[in-house]
Amino acid sequence: MAVVPTIVVLCGALSKERDVSLRSGEACAKALEGTFPGLVREVLEENKLPGWLDAARHVVFPVIHGAYGEDGGIQAELEAGGFAFAGSDAAASRLCIQKVEAKRKFLSASVPVAPEFVFSAEGKPRACEIISQLGTPDVVFKVANGGSSIGLHFAQNEEEIADALAAITDGEWMVEPRLKGREMTIGILGDEAMGIVEIIPLGGHYDYGNKYTPGAVRYLYPAELSETLRARIAGDALRAYGACACRDFSRLDFILSEEGQPTFLEINTMPGMTATSLFPKSAGCCGVDFQDLCERMLAPAIARFSGARLNDGHHPNS
């Protein structure tokens, strides 16, 4: 008789994105509990798997953002324990949270990206060096190995760049030219590109504060684009997703210039799943509601669990 797994939604953990993870995890658990009786939502208070997890009985949905959740940490633990779990594997997760390395993979797949200046807090450059390399003082600072909106800081001149540098005390950073155009994102579910969402902040920038404040941002989904451009963007996104060896789901952010040129910024292997999150909006463009989205995000992991049970010795994530 086939083993029916118990679904375990993991959220929380210790990172700058813990609060968002808690909200994402709660939303996903509520959406799935009707379909999967006995579902467990576990809030992690440390960056470590619960000892009671059993690979022979549990399928894991790690709804954890940023450090530990997207840097390959939890994925490596799950793989070592033989667990079937939703989302990209450890190698792809480690790659994608390293924004510069992911952009190199994008380029290898002929997906356009912005130039960048990379530095560590211990070896900060001078403002004039950044301007010289990027060719403009109008730039955006980003954490090089964190979530898409953590640590964002905008500067428009040499003085503001110097101020931003002075405020950096640790970590790896990157600076990119601030691209002019429409800010957008597209979700990938399985091997299909979903809808394109346009992001319009009603004040300031699309930073962490505005991103998670209801009413601070206007969203157009689907974005108003020609079918030709929509298909081109979807093709670019799928190539980037494939080049990074992602699986199950991801979200890619990009800027669309006035001339209709998309420039891809990064890929998110565990996109937000809150009431204001972009990934559910991308799915909504295709008629996929939140419950259906969660079920489809989880389905490949359940299939890997079943395959492993049918073939003893088969690793559920291979």
Question: Of residues 17, 116, 183, 198, which has the active-site annotation?
Answer: 17
> Residue 316 domain-assigned?
no
Q: Find all residues with CB under 8 Å of 254, minimum gap 6, and list them.
A: 184, 185, 186, 233, 236, 237, 262, 263, 264, 265
Strands (E), the chain: 6-12, 40-44, 58-62, 84-85, 117-120, 139-143, 153-155, 172-177, 182-189, 192-201, 217-220, 249-256, 262-268
- Is 253 an active-site residue? yes
Considering 25, 145, 266, 277, which one is annotated as catalytic?
266
| pLDDT score recorded for residue 259 | 93
148 is catalytic: yes
Q: Which of 24, 149, 210, 268 is catalytic?
A: 268
The single residue of 251, 282, 284, 304 carrying the catalytic annotation is: 251
Q: What domain range is 243 assigned to?
A: 96-113+180-288
Q: Tell me, what's the pLDDT at 150?
A: 65
SS3 readout for 73-130: HHHHHHHHCCCEECCCCHHHHHHHHCHHHHHHHHHHCCCCECCCEEEEHHHCCCHHHH
Question: What pLDDT, on the 0 to 100 scale, is given for residue 216?
Answer: 72
User: How far, CA to CA in Å, does 207 sit from each of 113, 219, 315?
Assistant: 20, 14, 40
* Residue 207 confidence (pLDDT): 53
- Decide: helix, strand or coil at residue 186: strand
Q: Could you give phi then psi for residue 78, rounded to 5 degrees? A: -65, -40
Q: Please say if 241 is a catalytic residue.
A: no
Domain end point (choices 158, 177, 196): 177
Q: Among the options 70, 71, 79, 253, which is catalytic?
A: 253
Give the domain CATH number at 161.
3.30.1490.20
Please name which of 6, 17, 87, 90 lies closest in space to residue 50, comparing C-alpha atoms: 6
Q: Say what the pLDDT of residue 103 is.
A: 96
CA neighbor of 213 nearest in space, from 276, 273, 282, 153? 276
pLDDT tens over the chain, length 318 residues:
567 899 999 999 998 889 999 999 999 999 999 999 999 999 999 999 999 999 999 999 999 998 899 999 999 999 999 999 999 999 999 999 999 999 999 999 999 999 999 999 999 999 999 999 999 999 999 988 876 556 788 999 999 999 999 999 998 999 999 999 999 999 999 999 999 999 998 766 555 555 556 667 899 999 999 999 999 999 999 999 999 999 999 999 999 999 999 999 999 999 999 878 999 999 999 999 999 999 999 999 999 999 877 666 556 665
Judge if 155 and 17 occupy the same domain: no
Question: Residue 130: its pLDDT value, please?
Answer: 97
What total number of domains does the chain contain? 3
Establish whether 266 is a catalytic residue: yes
Closest CA to 124 of 141, 107, 138: 141
The reply to whether 102 and 244 lie within a common domain is yes
Output the pTM of the full model. Answer: 0.90
- Check which CATH number belongs to the domain holding 64 and give it: 3.40.50.20
Catalytic residue among 88, 148, 250, 277: 148
Dihedral sign (CA 101, 283, 112, 174)? negative
**Which is catalytic among the residues 25, 272, 282, 304?**
272
Contact 214, 276 (CB under 8 A): yes
Active site residue 47: no
